[in-house]
Amino acid sequence: MKQAAPDHASPLSTSASNTREKRDSERPLVDDIRLLGRILGDVIRVQEGPEAYELVEQIRKLSVAFRRDADQEADKALKKLLKSLSGERAVSVIRAFTYFSHLANLAEDRHHIRRRAIHERAGHTQEGSIDVALQRLRWAGITPRSISDMLATSYVSPVLTAHPTEVQRKSILDAERDIAHLLTERDAIKARAAAINAAKDALSPKELAANELQMRARVMQLWQTRLLRFTKLTVADEIENALSYYEATFLREIPKLYAELEQALPGQPIASFLRMGQWIGGDRDGNPNVTAPTLEHALTRQGDVALRHYLTEVHFLGGELSLSAMLVPFGPDMLALAERSPDTNEHRQDEPYRRALTGMYARLAATLKKLTGGDAARHAVAPQNPYATPEEFLADLRVIEASLRSHHAEALAAQRLHPLIRAVEVFGFHLATVDLRQSSDQHEAVVAELLTTARVEKNYPQLDEHAKQALLLGLLNDARPLRVPGADYSAHTVSELAIFDTAQRMLRSFGRQAIRHYIISHTESVSDLLEVLLLQKEVGLLRGTLDAQAHNDLIVVPLFETIEDLRNAAPIMRDFYALPGVAALIARSGGEQDIMLGYSDSNKDGGIFTSNWELYRAEIALVDLFDKLKNSHGITLRMFHGRGGTVGRGGGPSYQAILAQPPGTVRGQIRLTEQGEVIGSKYANPEIGRRNLETLVAATLEATLLQPTKPATRAFLDAAAELSEASMGAYRALVYETPGFTDYFFGATPLKELAQLNIGSRPASRKALQKIEDLRAIPWGFSWGQCRLTLPGWLGFGSAVATFLDKPDAAERKAALALLQKMYRQWPFFRTLLSNMDMVLAKSDLALASRYAELVGDARLRKKIFTAIEAEWHRTADALTQITGEKNRLASNPALDRSIRHRFPYIDPLHHLQVELIRRYRAGLADERVQRGIHISINGIAAGLRNTG
C-alpha cells in the first residue's frame, strides 16, 4: 500500500498526523503506536484479506475529511459506503478500530511511565507524587514525626465497584497486560543498546525481533478472541474480574508504595493507612443477583487470593533464607519458631529460617482449607493448626524479621519479607473490606414485615417520621428479638435477613476488617438509619441496647444522592446524633462515622454545577457538625465520595479533586469509589496503578497538612450559589421540562441497545418505564458519551454564566466577570470544576452528535432539541473562554489535548459505523452480526475515550 499523506496517516501504519510536529519527547510514543498499528494491520491483512485493510483505510480517510473540513461530499460518500457494508464486513471494520483504540491506550500508558522515569532521573518529580507532597510539607516546616503521627490516624481507601456498563473481558485484559509488559521489555532492550555502541551491538536487533514476534502473537490472540460475552455477566464474573487487579497490581504495588514512604521518612513508623475496599458481592441496591451466598462467595474468593499470595511468598522466602545456624547466631524466639515446625528433614536441621517457614506454610495451607475449602499449590510437610487471625501470622513473620535484623541481614528482609509483612497488615485474610449496600425502601419493607408478624405495628410504612423514630428507639432499647421462630416470612425478608446473618458469620471467619460499612442508598430520614441498626440488632451485629452499653460491628453509612438529599444531609445527621444513646453507641463502636456523597444522581438531578456546589455545601455543613461531635464524643467524620469515571459523575483527576474539597473535609480520612469503567485504565498496568494510588496518598497528605483552614470568601460562595441556581434552572428546563426530550434521548443515544449488551450484572434501569427519573445515572452518562455530547459534564453552566453576567451596565458586567476570573485563579473548587468541564467539551463533538440526532424519527423534535443543546454547548464554551482566558479547549493541558486529538482518527469511524448499524437495527434489518457490531462499537468508543459512564 502506498504511503498516505500526513493528514491521512493510517492509524494502522503511523497513527499520527505528522510525526515531524512531534516533540522529541513524544517520539517513543509515536514509535510504539506505529509498531502496534503495523502489527495490527498485518494481522488484518492475513486474517481478513488485503481488501479488508483497504476498506478500513478508506473509511478512516473519509471520517478524517468529515471532521477536518466539514466536507459534505465526504459525508455523503461515507454514508453511502457504510450503507453498502454487509453485517460481517461492518463487524470486521469495527473490530479493527476498536483494537487499535485498545493498543493505542497501551502505548500511551507506557509513555506515561517512560516520561515519569525520565523526570525522576532528572530530579523533576511530578505533581501528585509522594516526593513532591513531602517536599511541600518540608517547605511548610512540617516534621517527619508530624507526618508519621498524621498517618497513624489516617484511613485512605479506594473502593472497587462493579459497573452496569463495564465492557472489558478478562481474557482481553490478560492479553493486553502481556502486550504492556512486552512494550516495557522493548524499552529495556533499547536502553541496553544505547548504553553501548549500537553499531557494534549484534544482540539487540535479535532481541527486538523476538520481542516483536511475541507481540504479534498477542495481537493475533486478541484478533481471534471474542470482544463480547455470549452470556450476561454474573456477579461471580465481576468478582473474578476485580480480583485480577489484586493479583496483577494491588498485592505487590501497595507494599512498594509503603516502602517508598519509609525510605522518604527514615526512622519514622508508617502505619498501614491505605487499604482496599470492595462493593462487588456486597452491593445489592437494585441488583437482585447479590444475595447472601454471593457475599460469602465474594469473601471466600478474596480470602483465597490473599492466602495464595502469602503461600507463594512464604515458599519463595524458604528458598531465599538458607542461612545456617553454623554460620549465623539465632536468638531464642527464632529457634522456638523453628522448633514448632513439623519439618524434620535432616538437610534443614541447621537452617532455622527454612524450618520455620515450612511450618508457617503448613499453617497457612490449613488456614486456606478452613476459610475457603481450597488446597495449597504445594503439599505441606505435615498437617498443622490454621492461623486464627492475620495477627498470628504477622507475629511469626516479625520473629523472622527481628532475627534477620539481629545479625545485620536487613537487606535480605527488605526484598521479600518486608513487602509480605506490609501485605498482611493491609490485606489480612480478607483482601479488601466488602461494603454492604441496600436501598432504604427495602429496609423499610423488611422492618414493616417483622413488626406486622410480631404484632407490634401493622401499619409501619404509614407512620409519620416522628412516630417511626419513637417506635424504632423503643425496639433498640428492648433486648428481645423481633423475629418470630417458624414464621412464614416473604422471600424478600428472608433474603435480606440472610445477608445480615452471613455478614456476622463472615466477620467471625475473616476478621473485623472483612466487612465494616453498611451503606443506605436514598437516605432521606433518620428512621432510614435506625431501621438498619434494628436489623443489625436482630442478628447480633449490634449487641446490647442503646441505653445499656450497646456495641455495633458495622458503621451505618448514609448515602445522600439527590440535590434535596444533599441539602438535608447535615440536618438528618444532627437529628440522628441528638437521639438518646446514638452518639454513645458510635463512640463505643470505634468512633467512626462514614458519610457517602453521591455524585451521579445529584448530577442527573440538577446538572454538573449544582451537583458539585451542593456537594461542597453539604461537606461544609457536615464538617461543622462533626467538629462538635469530635469534641463531645470523639467521633471522627470520614467522607466517602461516590465518584464515577466521567466528569458528570464526579470523575476527573483524583489529585485535584481531593485538593478541591472544602477545608477540614479530609483530615487524613477519605474513601472514594473506583468505578468499574475506569479500573482497567487505572490499575491494569502495575506501574500506572501505583501512580494512581500514590496520587491518592499525596493528595491526602497535602489536603490534610497544607490546606487552608478557612473556607472560600463570602463573595465566592455567594457567586457560586447564584450560578448554581441558574445552572440547575437551565438544566432542568431542558432535561425535565422540555416536551419530547425523553424521546430524543432514547432515540439519539444507543441506550436501548446498551441495555441488551452482556455487560454488568446490574439492570440499567431501576424500573421498566421509559423515564429519565428511573434511569440509573451510570447508563445516562454512558449514553451521552457514546453519542459524543457528554452532556452531563457541562449542561447548564453556559446559561448560568450568561445570567450571572447579565447586568444593567458595562461596569457591573466587567466586575461580575472579574469576580469569576478571580474565583478561577484562587479557588481550587471552582478551578477544578471548570478544568473538568474544559476536558469534557474537548471530548465532545457536535458534528458527530448530529449524526446520532438523525436517528430520531421526528424531524421537528430532532431539530428543536439538538438546536437547544448546540446553543448551550456554545454558551458553555464561550463562558469557559471568558473566565479562563483560553480560547482553545485544553490550552492549559497540551499533553491531554494531543492525546485526545490523536484518538479521533480511529474513534470517529466507530461512531459513524455505530450510527449506521443502529439505524439498521431499529429499522428491523438486523441480524446477530449487526447487533454484535453495535456492541463492539460501544466497547471501542469507550476504550478510545478512556471512560464510559
Report, as residue numbers or ranges, the catalytic residues.
163, 604
Is residue 78 within 8 A of residue 63, CB to CB? The reply is yes
CA 429 to CA 394: how far, in whole Å?
Answer: 11
Helix (H/G/I), strand (E/B), else coil: 438:
strand
> How long a stretch of residues is the chain?
949
> Cα(833)–Cα(670) distance, rounded to whole angstroms?
20
* Packing angle, helices 352-372 and 292-320, rounded to 10: 170
Q: What is the rounded CA–CA span in Å between residue 602 and residue 610? A: 8
CB distance 278 to 435 below 8 Å = yes
- Spatial contact of 243 and 70, defined as CB atoms under 8 Å apart: no
Report residue 855 as a C-alpha cell. Answer: 436517528
Q: Bridge-partner residues for 672, per DSSP?
A: 158, 641
Please provide the DSSP assignment of 89-147 as one string: HHHHHHHHHHHHHHHHHHHHHHHHHHHHHHHHHTT-PPTTSHHHHHHHHHHTT--HHHH
CA distance 650 to 640: 12
- Grid cell at residue 542: 449490634
Residue 532 grid cell = 438498619
**Is the sign of the CA dihedral 643, 649, 652, 657 positive or negative?**
negative
Judge contact between 16 and 9, C-beta under 8 A.
Answer: yes
Sign (positive/negative) of CA torsion 589, 593, 594, 598?
A: positive
Collapsed DSSP state (helix, strand, coil) of residue 674: strand
Is residue 878 within a helix (H) or strand (E), and if so which, with residue range?
Answer: helix 859-884
Residue 720 CA neighbour count, 13 Å, CB half = 26
**Contact present, 690 and 253 (Cβ < 8 Å):** yes
Mode of pairing for the β-strands spanning 592-598 and 636-642: parallel
Pairwise CA distance, residues 428 & 14, whole Å: 48
State the cell numbers at 705: 497538612
Range list of β-strands (E), 527-628: 542-545, 548-552, 555-560, 592-598
Three-class secondary structure of residue 77 per DSSP: helix
Alpha-carbon torsion, ordered 287, 288, 293, 297, to 10 deg? -30
DSSP state for residue 3 in the 8-state scheme: P
Grid coordinates in use for 652?
A: 476527573
**What sign does the dihedral 777-783-786-791 (CA atoms) show?**
negative
Task: List the grid coordinates of 679.
Answer: 479500573
User: Rounded to whole angstroms, how far apart are CA atoms 231 and 233?
Assistant: 6
The stretches of 246-373 forming alpha helices (DSSP H) are 251-264, 292-320, 332-339, 352-372
H-state helical runs in 662-776: 676-683, 686-705, 714-735, 741-748, 751-754
DSSP 653: -
- Distances from the Cα of 87 to the Cαs of 2, 599, 942, in angstroms? 28, 39, 21
Do 552 and 486 meet the contact criterion of CB atoms below 8 Å apart? no
Determine contact, residues 875/798, Cβ cutoff 8 Å.
Answer: yes
Residue 551: CB atoms within 10 Å: 12
Instruction: State the Cα–Cα distance between residues 72 and 649, nearest whole angstrom.
Output: 35
